[in-house]
Structure 1
């Protein structure tokens, strides 16, 4: 039997809040200037948000207002943006990629979404818990062969007496999971119930959850983060097309599992 595991984190996790801020900034530029070149990084926590990076655009959205709509008015916002490097811009202007790098794509026939089974289980569990408890949190599901062996859940503002039955119901109702209550080890808030989370408890950084943003730890990845980058940055667009190639090949019936590698030069 092979043991596989994957985790997922909620939108209330500090790193994912930073990803959301970065993409919200990107969207604001692209909404008014589709040719905007945007590559922003966001760090946040403890009433401070820092936005740093490179932007070349014909528009100037109110970034501070965008950020405060997400995190609240009591945050100090520091924005430090420069124009894209002329050397990089020249390469993109003539049709080149916005970065050098290797991007990977993956697809498998083992799930409807063509994602690894352990990843699907962890993501589905996290999403359904978040519907009831929209706070900071993480899930992890470990498989032994096709069967669920262990489930870890840590979620802010939950009571174990309520969370455990919810988690069991979600896992046991998942059609892709082979689970029985007696066979699965459930670790629910293993460090204890907690109420301080998000930016009040920890610092976040955009692009730090690369494995979660891809396919989980069982599948190797390449390139960099997706968040806050326009399509000329192949960290994002190259990874997307690599995934599409893999999915299309599995859909064709020619393979049950596909790995794709793409390489770009500026």
Structure 2
């Protein structure tokens, strides 16, 4: 079974905690490439954001932020940790706050920062960890919010429903929230191996639906609109295009749609360009 989730917490209909975690790493990578304000950064990095919600399921504060970043070697570890902590809180965090004007109030001096909590982080990337199986299925989806059926995406052909149906259910969920049907929604689909048509489609609006329909009635309408057979998902979302290298970092969901042109060398040595 595969799940797609969406919420109106953010402009891209992604959970705020995961969106913040991605933005922290995107901005950290920008600082590394600029090589002006922070000059010791290396490419490998990880982040996690912990939010507190009220009883109305609205974020009220950031409890903790974890940042682990690879770095050049320092003479003294204590000096290194002090420097990294200072740069993260005084240079990185203000850049991230600018991206979230509506959530500026969540950032305060009570946040618990865990910055390189294991200490020295000089060896990273494939030199430090290798392997593909399983990959990072939670950070690739919704950061633990919503649900995940267990299947990884990376390394799989798009005909595999682990990948194509997970993308399709996210597509449905995002459109339902964007259309104002509900504040958040979880779409679940399940298959029997070798059978193209799903065995079930289920929609859960968590009681936030704005329309006079039950979740079961919404599920029936969704089933009538979206053809969830794998071949038709591939066609609808153009999953045979070379779109996957971008998903190696910052997750598979909530990405901004852009058109790029890529050039490949075919087995006979000819250049092939593809938009």
TM bucket by the smaller chain? 0.5 to 0.7
RMSD after superposition: 1.8
Count of residues in Structure 1 that have an aligned counterpart in Structure 2: 165
Does 1:166 pair with 2:80? Answer: no
Quick one: which of 182, 188, 194 aligns to 2:109?
182
1:260 to 187, 203, 210: 187
Q: Is the 8 A contact 1:111 1:176 kept in 2?
A: no
Task: Report SS of the residue matched to 1:119.
Answer: helix
Moved more, 174-183 or 191-200: 174-183
- Give the 4+ runs in structure 1 shifted more than 6 A: none
Inter-partner Cα distance in structure 1 for 2:90 and 2:120: 15
Deviation by residue 1:190-216 (Cα, 9 ceiling, x = unmatched)? 222421111222233243200011111
Deviation of the 1:109 alpha carbon:
1.1
**Relative to structure 2, which stretch is displaced further, 209-218 or 157-166?**
157-166
Corresponding residue of 1:154:
68
CA–CA distance in structure 2, aligned partners of residues 221 and 183 of structure 1: 32
| Greater share of residues in strand | 1
Please give the alpha-carbon distance, in whole angstroms, between the structure 2 residues aligned to 1:154 and 1:207: 21
TM-score, structure 2 normalization:
0.56
Partner SS for 1:247: helix
Match of 2:52 among 141, 144, 147: 144
Q: Deviations over 1:97-120 (max 9, x none)?
A: xxxxx1111111111110111111
Unmatched segments (≥5 aa) in structure 2:
33-41, 54-58, 73-82, 195-275
Q: Residue 104 of structure 1 contacts residue 239 of structure 1 at CA under 8 Å; is this kept in 2?
A: yes
